[in-house]
Structure 1
Amino acid sequence: MLINQAADVDPSSAESVEIAQPLLDQLAAIRREVLQALASDEPVYGVNTGMGAMSKVRLSESEQRIHQRNLLLGRAVGGPPWLPADEARAVLLGRLRTFLNGDAGVSVELIQQLVALINSNVVPQIPAEGAGSAGEIIPLAHAFGTWAGGDASGPEIGLKEAGLELGVDRSGSELDPHESGFELGPKEGIALLAGIPGATGRAALHVVRARRLADQLTAVAAGAIAVVGANRAPYQPLAGRGNDVLAGELARLLELAGPEGEPRSLQAPVSFRVAGQVIAHVRRSIDDLDRAVGRAFDGVTDSPAYLGGEFVGTAGFHGIDLTAYCDHLTAALAHAAEVSAARLHRLLDPSVTGLPAQLTHEPGPQAGLVAVHKRAVATTHRLRRLTLPTAIGTAETSNGQEDVQTFSWEAVGNLAEAIRLTREVTACELLAVYQAFTLAKRPLPTSLQIVADVVPPISVDRPFGKDLTRLLETVLS
């Protein structure tokens, strides 16, 4: 992935990263200006002063030399559970994306070290929880603590062991890696901790996952509509007038559900009829979050940021925009999961499907898929508990210097869990749809034919959890 400008960075990409030379030259010019501005000895927050409540304390030159490293060491207070590898990589790519805007004024050398880390097989241990600050200094301190002598994940793997040349300072002198590791230059420690790049990078990754999940929701809902012989009237694109997203979703459902035939009833249960509205809302919520991610990446996140030739204190760490839209999508997914679970319940009902009760060959001696619905109910109950607005519940920290938080790190964590749980409910409905088509002796729709390759025919009760796991690991992966 050759990056010619900041906007080219894709936090969901697994490709190697390379920064084009013209962009590096621009960043090097900004860095020279930053160093000249710092030479004036004017107070610059977190560079020649302390942090937070200690910002009134001026630092000597010798203190400044170690201060940027100490910023990372002293804030790495997190612990397990750690982010999965793909989300940890998204954090690193998010940080790189913000550095390429130039506001942080970091050196080309640091950017190249970051690129080398992204392209290596080393995954920093980044805590998934516990970011109770105005920004996300705790997880970011872990993400970049290797440059201050910390460890990456794996069996005590550090960046030196990964082959990255971090044991040399800017003058070319060798450093003791157990004492100093890679020496950060002026302003670079605080720049690594600034803003909400981690939550933004993770959100960008989850936008991609949520889009894939939305397509899966559509395919499974269309299968349910087809197998119960639902009246197709609610899915006519004309019913989406004034709402292009809804009209598009209705058209997809109508196409995937296939020809109507003779409907079983004038109106199917509500959970079938509203599928278009529910999934369209999910898709709109994804688009809203995607735009919030773009604003977060394009906006000013550093503080102090180097803007217009001077250092400017900003509030770019206050991620209410990102938090709100993560919450919005989490709630949309929770609603979609509840509607999916409701359809699953109706699929077990002979009055709706015309099939044997609980989708079993022998109702009574066999329980069929009734317990699959119970799992879906438990999963949706857990999903509901994720829908509390994340930014509610601020608390003072840092002796009152930080008296408000948005908890964007937690909001994107809730979204990741919401995607996982919604996928789980979708797997439950998909298994029921598959069994309903089998009992009806009808071929699966083209979009769902892969299920037959993953799930053996269901003729008797068995541990259906294994079938659900196979669906989650293959069809709905």
Structure 2
Amino acid sequence: MINEPSDLDPSSTEAIVIAQPLLDRVAAIRVNVLQTLAQGDAVYGVNTGMGNMSKVRLSEDEQRVHQQNLLLGRAVGGPPWLPAAEARAVLIGRLRTFLTGDAGVSVELIDQLVALINSGCVPDIPAEGAGSAGEIIPLAHAFASLEVGPKEGIALLAGIPGATGRAALQLTRVRRLADQLTAVGAGAIAVIGANRAPYNAAVGRADELLAAELMRIRELAGPEDEPRSLQAPVSFRVAGHVIAHVRRSLGALQEAVVRAFDGVTDSPAYLDGEFIGTAGFHGLDLAAHCDQLTVALAHAAEVSTARLHRLLDPAVTGLPAQLAHEPGPQAGLVAVHKRAVATVHQLRRLTLPTAISTAETSNGQEDVQTFSWEAVGVLGEAIRLTRQTTACELLAVRQAFALSKRPIPSGLADLIQAVDAVVPPIDADRPFGLDLTRLLDEVL
């Protein structure tokens, strides 16, 4: 039961039921909105044109079709479409902003939106091409099937609910990925017999998040035997700092998502009995923190790939070259590292700041943009690619344990057991891409 807007979770797959008191509150605001509109004052996008056409006042006949036309004329996107989970997150993000009352929409529109979400049939929403101050193009596609009343067309197009909902969904994925990065990194540390000193929680003094990450790694890696060397390669020693930064960037994006959902993003918003034009569509806060998390993931993938390379080196592991069962006749996992290198190269190209692009549209009315819709799309791609490099390292960690005969630390037993359930023992070269796909689909 949704009692407050904050109860809505864009990552949830459960049916949505809104409590009656919340609907009553929205209905009361709607009454006031219609009374204010009846006074006949100019209200942007309601009884005027949009963008550079806002100087044009609309007749009553024009107003009756204008709100539906706003959706029709802006649905200019095309495939590729968002995955179903992201499309659902867009719908839930819009619903959450409507329940604040700022948009002044009707309970009937909210009922339509809830029915659409609960139907399980999400609309086709373009993943690309949102070149505007806000998200009018993808939102026009998202809500084209809804019947709208006064002010409700522009309300459906306002703000950045789509990027915010999608970002909230990606947060759940990054949390899971961060835990996997920790576990796989700890496995690499354990299997080469790395000195555990760099993972002492005391190293995280003045940084509780880092201290907690170091403790997690040390616990997962298990008790320390005689280390193979005084210092492991840097890619092993910095694991705690790298993953702590991913978690810190994740937390910063979470705060930005909350600000975006709880702030005023509608324009015009109905506040204190009057319509107020806002700049809530300017999603710089969200875009910047999506970019930050993308960079953090790209660095984590680089470090993971560097560790993978070291796992192929007998000087680091004391194991057969390239983790081959029979080096020479067999190539081992060298090509797995090559795939990870190519994946990291793709990731590097995603790290350009998204919002650094001034572009004019609407005859200069919209003369800057943040591309927050694109920023969250880039983040989703960064998550996908980082999962791939993590799978590559995980395959190498499992093979290294098999060749070394080292005991598997208890904290990693479940992970290794899950790997063994889908990846047969590696005693000869084979198409390792199939193993990586199984790891991605069934373990990670």
User: Under a length normalisation based on structure 1, what TM-score does the superposition of the two structures give?
Assistant: 0.92
1:279-325 CA-partner distances (Å, limit 9, x unpaired): 00000000000000000000000000000110000000000000000
What residue in structure 1 maps to residue 56 of structure 2?
57
Quote the Cα distance in structure 2 between the aligned partners of 1:80 and 1:30: 37
What residue in structure 2 maps to residue 99 of structure 1?
98
Quote the Cα distance in structure 2 between the aligned partners of 1:442 and 1:205: 38
Q: Which residue type is aligned with residue 30 of structure 1?
A: I
Which of 426, 429, 436 lines up with 1:458 in the alignment? 426
Quote the Cα distance in structure 2 between the aligned partners of 1:418 and 1:7: 27
What residue in structure 2 maps to residue 326 of structure 1?
290
What residue in structure 1 maps to residue 439 of structure 2?
471
Quote the Cα distance in structure 2 between the aligned partners of 1:347 and 1:447: 21
Q: Say whether the 8 Å CA contact 1:131–1:137 is kept in structure 2.
A: yes
What residue in structure 2 maps to residue 158 of structure 1?
none
Residue 446 (structure 1) aligned with residue 413 (structure 2): yes
Which of 383, 399, 405 lines up with 2:363 in the alignment? 399
Q: Say whether the 8 Å CA contact 1:454–1:471 is kept in structure 2.
A: yes
Shift of 1:146: 1.4
1:419-453 CA-partner distances (Å, limit 9, x unpaired): 00000000000000000000012343324221111
Quote the Cα distance in structure 2 between the aligned partners of 1:100 and 1:327: 29
Quote the Cα distance in structure 2 between the aligned partners of 1:457 and 1:402: 58
Quote the Cα distance in structure 2 between the aligned partners of 1:71 and 1:438: 62
Quote the Cα distance in structure 1 between the aligned partners of 2:117 and 2:68: 20
What residue in structure 2 maps to residue 360 of structure 1?
324
Alignment of 1:147-158 (within 5 A): 147=146
Q: Say whether the 8 Å CA contact 1:245–1:284 is kept in structure 2.
A: yes
Shift of 1:135: 0.2
Quote the Cα distance in structure 2 between the aligned partners of 1:293 and 1:448: 31
Q: Say whether the 8 Å CA contact 1:358–1:369 is kept in structure 2.
A: yes
Q: Which residue type is aligned with residue 87 of structure 1?
A: E
Quote the Cα distance in structure 1 between the aligned partners of 2:19 and 2:407: 52
Q: Say whether the 8 Å CA contact 1:256–1:447 is kept in structure 2.
A: no
Q: Give the secondary-structure state (helix, strand or coil) at the position aligned to 1:109.
A: helix
What residue in structure 1 maps to residue 270 of structure 2?
306
Q: Which residue type is aligned with residue 235 of structure 1?
A: Y
Q: Say whether the 8 Å CA contact 1:91–1:197 is kept in structure 2.
A: yes
Quote the Cα distance in structure 2 between the aligned partners of 1:438 and 1:43: 73
What residue in structure 1 maps to residue 238 of structure 2?
274
Quote the Cα distance in structure 1 between the aligned partners of 2:85 and 2:282: 24
1:379-424 CA-partner distances (Å, limit 9, x unpaired): 0000000000000112100000000000000000000000000000
Identity %: 79
Shift of 1:40: 0.4
Q: Give the secondary-structure state (helix, strand or coil) at the position aligned to 1:311.
A: strand
Count of aligned positions? 440
Q: Say whether the 8 Å CA contact 1:219–1:447 is kept in structure 2.
A: no
Shift of 1:454: 1.3
Shift of 1:105: 0.2
Quote the Cα distance in structure 2 between the aligned partners of 1:290 and 1:377: 30
Residue 239 (structure 1) aligned with residue 203 (structure 2): yes
User: Under a length normalisation based on structure 2, what TM-score does the superposition of the two structures give?
Assistant: 0.99
Alignment of 1:384-423 (within 5 A): 384-423=348-387
Q: Say whether the 8 Å CA contact 1:207–1:286 is kept in structure 2.
A: yes
1:189-228 CA-partner distances (Å, limit 9, x unpaired): 0000000000000000000100000000000000000000
Q: Which residue type is aligned with residue 223 of structure 1?
A: G
Shift of 1:17: 0.2
Q: Say whether the 8 Å CA contact 1:48–1:60 is kept in structure 2.
A: yes
What residue in structure 2 maps to residue 257 of structure 1?
221
Give the aligned CA root-mean-square deviation in angstroms: 0.6
Q: Which residue type is aligned with residue 308 of structure 1?
A: D
4+ aligned runs moved over 4 Å, structure 1: none
What residue in structure 1 maps to residue 6 of structure 2?
7
Quote the Cα distance in structure 1 between the aligned partners of 2:299 and 2:414: 23
**1 or 2, which has the higher helix percentage?**
2
Q: Which runs of 5 or more structure 2 residues have no equivalent in the other structure?
A: none
1:341-383 CA-partner distances (Å, limit 9, x unpaired): 0000000000000000000011111000000000000000000
Q: Which runs of 5 or more structure 1 residues have no equivalent in the other structure?
A: 148-181
1:103-140 CA-partner distances (Å, limit 9, x unpaired): 00000000010000000021100000000000000000
